[in-house]
Amino acid sequence: MAADLGELLVPYMPTIHVPKTGDRVYRSECAYSYDSPESEGGLYVCMSTFLGFGREHVERHYRKTGQCVYMHLKRYPKLKMPGAAGGTLPKRKNGMIFLDLEINSDSSSDYDYEDEVKLVIFPDHFEIALPNIEELPALVTIACDAVLNSKSPYIKQEPDSWEDELPVSKYANNLAQLDNGVRIPPSGWKCAKCEMRENLWLNLTDGAVLCGRWFFDGRGGNGHALEHHKQMGYPLAVRLGTITPDGADVYSFEEEEAVLDPHIAKHLAHFGIDMLQMHMTENGVTDNMVMPRISEWEVIQESGMKLKPMFGPGYTGIKNMGNSCYISTVMQIIFSIPEFQRAYVGNLPRIFDYSPLDPTQDFNTQMSKLGHGLLSGQFSKPPVKSELIEQVMREEEHKPLPRGIALRMFKSLVSMGHPEFSSKRQQDAHEFLMHLVNLVERNSIGFGTENPSDVFRFLVEERTQCCQSRKVRYTQRVDYVMQLPVALEAATNRDELIAHEQKRKEAESARIPPPERIRARVPFSACLQAFSEPDNVDDFWSSALQAKSAGIKTSRFSSFPEYLIVQIKKFTFGLDWVPKKLDVSIDMPDLLDINHLRAAGLQPTEEELPDIAPPIVIPEDPRDHSRNRYLDDFAEPLVVPGYEAAAEGSVLMDNQPPEEIVALIASMGFQRHQAIQALKATNNNLERALDWIFSHPDCEEDSESVSDANDAENSSTANIISETEPGGPRVKDGPGRYELFGFISHMGTSTMSGHYVCHIKKEGRWVLFNDHKVCASERPPKDLGYMYFYRRMPL
């Protein structure tokens, strides 16, 4: 028999591999579904690629790759027998248990598990039971043992496995910090060399705030932080937006890796940032100890009510893997939208058939997998009747019911390369939604169907006026979210709030616990009015006066999206860098009409500001003579990574912009030549490039480099361009009347902590999605939400 098995496996030996260090072995989850070894058909692990497949999908992989040998893993749960005292007997030793097996169903202590392992050879499904050391070739035995004992493919994503391994920077103990008077404000940051306002890094030596590199997912900047290090030699920088009482993200340019800075509190205090007192008041009572009369945790989760559990398609919960609720709530909302359902679930067979050889790394495949998992009902089955349970228990065939899905594979993919989303720290659901929309945009190129994120996109008209000359400038930009300010000054219980603040100060002086919090009640109409009012423009330069002047800006909708996302701006920073969440109740309407916010454009009585760019001014700082010799470097043209070989002294506008930024702008619906010209005109600044496109709608493709670039485009890109609307991005304009269908709520004092849940209106009633628990809502707390989702009302 041993010789027979050896001879049988000889033709397949070149395809049986032993996992090496760094290989990802998926022995707990299917690449295309949420099947696991506990599923009815078990899980098949390819012995060549180490990808896992449920019974429904293993044939697809066999047909696509020709790979024949798979390890079949099956786990059989068995209900424990009751002991003499009515409890369960101690868990007996099983014949075999997979080590560290992550599964999608609940491994209750009421069950024992027996695991079965086989080698299966396709297409005849010939089975070889394992272990079978004596009869199998040594290489096969070694490979099988390595697969069974492999580590989780997500271990690198877990902070327990990588945060503690960060090295202490050799520069931390003796870091020099310049006494240059720099103080960093709690908000309003932008790169000192360009206009970037994201992915900003604070140099811990001189306090310079500069942008990071451009990343594949659309984040990043122009690499000015690294450029500054190369010029000045200052080694450490901290990423703004990651500073918490527990630490911050620190990067060492010299050591070329993320590091720990044991003295980070002292180094930040040098620039006026007090990170250690962020959650502590002067009387020693933490903010978390002072709760309002009715806690938002109780109200938002509808605690104390008997909520009816919901099951079936569209009512599938998502397991919390440790501060992953910000992802869960966003994805529940996303897949309640028909356009996303059609794009990813409706096209599932085609997406799966044309997926790459490693579907775990394909965004569209994982979106289809997630959508099917939520909408199929396979992982949201109701319990059977009690009498049937008793009968099944007697037959010892009772199995734990699937209760939701775990998004390990999805989170691993969408958070790849992102220092925040790849951690287990709590994150801002709004930031993740924008990150997801960016991924949808980038992966819809060549997708062959309508981009589902088009339903969120709208155009904003910004009217900027010089207060002295009264002249105006109109520009347009693309946006996805209506950010609504909280008009606290219009609170209907303002007198009560003032009295509470006085009591709080008295308690603070007397060093006694403060009074219970009072929640501000703010009318939605006041917040909408605050949104429509003019804002002052910082550092406004008037082209009419050729000098700085006072300026104001108002924003209006040039188009109304199919689905309107409204974010309540609850999170802010105090002057002492204390992150604050405004505890407010806003009477958000079920029906919303914003037609009065429709943009009107340039009026006959208005005069436009001249189209003149402001001069480049390089400020000198007499307090820091050591840096004056480097000021000329700031006026040099920006060199984008990958284009350093350009001739010395050449102007950046003569170079080709980074392809990643060009593709991102093109994915928004603009033509490729527009993206290239705009980026060249704005030193590759994404935000300014979009403004440039709107202010130059008639730009012609007259650049030789643009023509050459277009000639080099392949046919698929040409087809994509032809499908876009000329002269602007794809938007779905229509009436500005909306109906509320979902909202995401946050509990806690900061986006860096707490918990998220969401409520979605399904089949005429509100449903609460709280991790894996899905229940009919009795009192949806629509006044305490963070992000609200409206759909356009039919005419």
Question: Which one, of 762, 732, 32, lies nearest residue 336 by Cα?
Answer: 762
Q: Are the C-beta atoms of residues 410 and 370 closer than 8 Å to each other?
A: yes
d(CA 365, CA 352): 6
Q: Are the C-beta atoms of residues 167 and 177 closer than 8 Å to each other?
A: no
Q: Are the C-beta atoms of residues 661 and 214 closer than 8 Å to each other?
A: yes
Residue 535's CB: how many other CB atoms inside 10 A? 15
Q: Which amino acid is at 446?
A: G
Give the helix ranges, DSSP H, for 511-548.
524-532
Q: Is 202 helix (H, G, I), strand (E, B) or coil?
A: strand
Q: Are the C-beta atoms of residues 162 and 254 closer than 8 Å to each other?
A: no
Element containing residue 673 per DSSP (H, E): helix 672-681
Residue 251's CB: how many other CB atoms inside 10 A? 22
Which tokens go with 562?
Answer: 């199919």
- Cα angle 525, 530, 532 (rounded to 5 degrees) comes to 95
d(CA 314, CA 310): 9
Sign for the pseudo-dihedral over CA of 194, 197, 198, 201:
positive
Residues 6+ apart with CB under 8 A from 395: none
Q: Is 563 helix (H, G, I), strand (E, B) or coil?
A: strand
Torsions phi, psi for 116 (to 5 deg): -125, 135
Q: Which amino acid is at 718?
A: A
Q: Are the C-beta atoms of residues 61 and 45 closer than 8 Å to each other?
A: no
Pairing relationship of beta strands 563-568 and 482-484 according to DSSP bridges: parallel
Omega of the bond leading into 131 within 30 degrees of 0 (cis): yes
DSSP-derived secondary structure letter, 745:
E
d(CA 317, CA 775): 10
Which tokens go with 463?
Answer: 């009217």
d(CA 373, CA 378): 7
Torsions phi, psi for 206 (to 5 deg): -115, 0
Query: What is the chain's length?
Result: 795
Torsions phi, psi for 709 (to 5 deg): -65, -40
Q: Which amino acid is at 236?
A: L
Which tokens go with 693?
Answer: 């496109």
Residue 609's CB: how many other CB atoms inside 10 A? 18
Sign for the pseudo-dihedral over CA of 477, 481, 482, 486:
negative
Residue 763's CB: how many other CB atoms inside 10 A? 8
- Known catalytic residues? 325, 755
Q: Are the C-beta atoms of residues 330 and 756 closer than 8 Å to each other?
A: no
